[in-house]
C-alpha cells in the first residue's frame, strides 16, 4: 500500500514524520520488543532527527529498545562531514542515551567491498531467531532529483540476492563511493517513509509515483514492500508535477 501526504511546509512534514516514527516505534516495541530502523542520509531528515530528541517525542521514544541502521553510507570516516553516521550522531546520539550495541553503522572507513561485507554481517547478527536477515520496522528514505533512493542510482542494477552493495555514483558534491542496502532487504521492511521536499525533486517524484515503470531510470521505483505501507511525505513544491502526471497516466 502506498500513501501520499502533502504538507504546506517542511515544518509540518517534519512533525508528521516524527508522529509516524514514534507510532511505528511504539507498535514495534509492543509487538516484538524492539524497534529496528534504517536511517537515511541527506539534508531532508535533519529536522525529523532534531524533533525526535526534543519534547514531546524524546520522553515517549523507546530509545534503549531502538536499533539504528542505515539505508546507505558514503565511504568516508565516521567523523567526516559527509558521513551519514556523523549526521545522526550529532542530531540524535549525542543527545539521548542509546546503548552502543544498538548502533549498527556501515563502516565507511573501510574499502568498499569490505564495508559492504561487514555491514551484511551486522545485519545477519540482528536477524530474528527464524530469519536470515532482519526485517526493519521502518526504513526512512530520501529521493534524489535524479530518482535515486538510498544509494540505488539510475543505470545500476542491484543484485537480487545480495543484502548490501558497494556502488560508485556522483550526486551533487557528495562522496561518490557508497554502500547501500539492496531492495532484497529494503522491501522486507514493515514500513517505509520517504521524505521529499523542494521543487527540484518534483519531476522525479512525478516520474516515480505516476510515470511508467522504469526502475532503471528511477530506482526509487524499486521500493515495493512485500507487505506494509510505503508513506510518501511531500512538501515545498516537491509534489507540484504529480497531479499533471496522474492526469496524463
Report yes or no: 69 and 136 within 8 Å, Cβ to Cβ.
Answer: yes
Residues 170 to 209 in contact with ligand 6PG, rule: CB under 6 A: 171, 174
Residue 191: strand, helix, or coil:
strand
- Report in angstroms how near the CB of residue 86 gets to ligand 6PG at its nearest: 11
Contacts from 198-202 at CB under 8 Å and sequence distance 24+? 198/236, 198/237, 198/238, 199/236, 199/237, 199/238, 199/240, 200/145, 201/143, 201/144, 201/145, 201/238, 202/237, 202/238, 202/239, 202/240, 202/241, 202/242
- Shortest approach of ligand 6PG to residue 139 CB, angstroms? 11
Kindly state the cell numbers that stand for 24: 511505528
3-state secondary structure (DSSP) of residue 52: helix
Q: Would strands 2-7 and 72-74 be described as parallel, antiparallel, or unpaired?
A: unpaired
Least distance between ligand 6PG and beta carbon 97 (Å): 26
Q: Which is nearer to ligand 6PG, 3 or 170 (CB)?
A: 170
Write each residue from 17 to 36 as x if it is in contact with ligand 6PG (CB under 6 A), else as -, in one continuous string.
--------------------
Query: Which one of residues 18, 40, 49, 120 is an interface residue with ligand 6PG (CB under 6 A)?
Result: 40
Site string for ligand 6PG, 115-154 (x = CB under 6 A): ---------------------------x-x---xxx----
Q: Using the minimum distance from each CB to ligand 6PG, give the nearer residue, 71 or 211.
A: 71
The set of cell numbers assigned to 239 is: 509534489
Contact window for ligand 6PG (CB under 6 A) among 37-45, 90-98, 99-107, 229-237? 37-45
Spatial distance between the Cα atoms of 136 and 145, rounded to a whole number of angstroms = 26
Q: According to CB under 6 A, which residues from 41 to 100 bind ligand 6PG? A: 41-44, 71-72, 74, 84
Task: Name the residue whose CB lies closest to ligand 6PG.
Answer: 142
- The owner of cell 567523523 is 79
Number of residues that bind ligand 6PG (CB under 6 A): 16
Outline where DSSP puts E strands in 71-162.
72-74, 138-142
CB of 14 vs ligand 6PG, minimal distance in Å: 12
| Cα distance between residue 194 and residue 140, in whole Å | 6
Kindly tell me which of 34 and 201 has the beta carbon lying closer to ligand 6PG.
201
Q: Which residues bind ligand 6PG (CB under 6 A)?
A: 40-44, 71-72, 74, 84, 142, 144, 148-150, 171, 174
Amino acid at each position: 500500500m502506498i500513501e501520499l501526504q502533502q504538507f504546506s511546509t517542511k515544518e509540518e512534514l517534519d512533525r508528521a514524520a516524527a508522529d509516524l516514527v514514534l507510532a511505528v516505534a511504539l507498535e514495534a516495541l509492543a509487538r516484538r520488543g524492539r524497534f529496528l530502523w534504517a536511517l537515511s542520509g541527506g539534508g531532508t531528515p535533519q529536522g525529523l532527527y532534531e524533533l525526535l530528541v526534543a519534547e514531546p517525542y524524546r520522553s515517549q521514544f523507546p530509545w534503549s529498545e531502538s536499533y539504528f541502521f542505515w539505508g546507505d553510507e558514503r565511504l568516508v570516516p565516521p567523523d567526516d562531514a559527509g558521513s551519514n553516521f556523523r549526521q545522526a550522531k550529532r542530531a540524535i546520539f549525542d543527545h539521548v542515551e542509546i546503548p552502543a550495541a544498538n548502533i549498527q553503522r556501515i563502516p565507511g572507513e573501510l574499502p568498499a567491498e569490505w564495508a559492504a561485507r561487514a555491514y551484511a554481517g551486522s545485519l545477519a547478527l540482528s536477524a530474528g531467531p527464524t530469519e536470515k536477515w532482519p526485517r526493519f520496522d521502518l526504513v526512512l528514505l530520501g529521493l534524489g532529483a535524479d530518482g535515486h533512493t538510498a544509494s540505488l542510482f539510475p543505470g545500476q542494477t542491484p543484485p537480487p540476492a545480495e543484502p548490501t552493495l558497494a556502488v560508485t555514483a556522483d550526486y551533487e558534491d557528495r562522496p561518490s563511493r557508497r554502500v547501500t542496502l539492496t531492495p532484497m532487504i529494503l522491501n522486507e521492511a514493515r514500513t517505509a517513509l520517504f521524505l521529499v521536499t523542494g521543487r527540484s525533486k518534483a519531476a522525479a517524484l512525478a516520474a516515480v509515483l505516476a510515470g511508467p515503470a522504469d526502475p532503471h531510470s528511477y530506482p526509487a521505483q524499486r521500493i515495493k514492500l512485500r507487505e506494509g505501507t510505503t508513506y510518501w511525505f511531500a512538501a515545498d513544491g516537491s509534489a507540484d508535477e504529480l497531479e499533471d502526471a496522474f492526469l496524463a497516466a
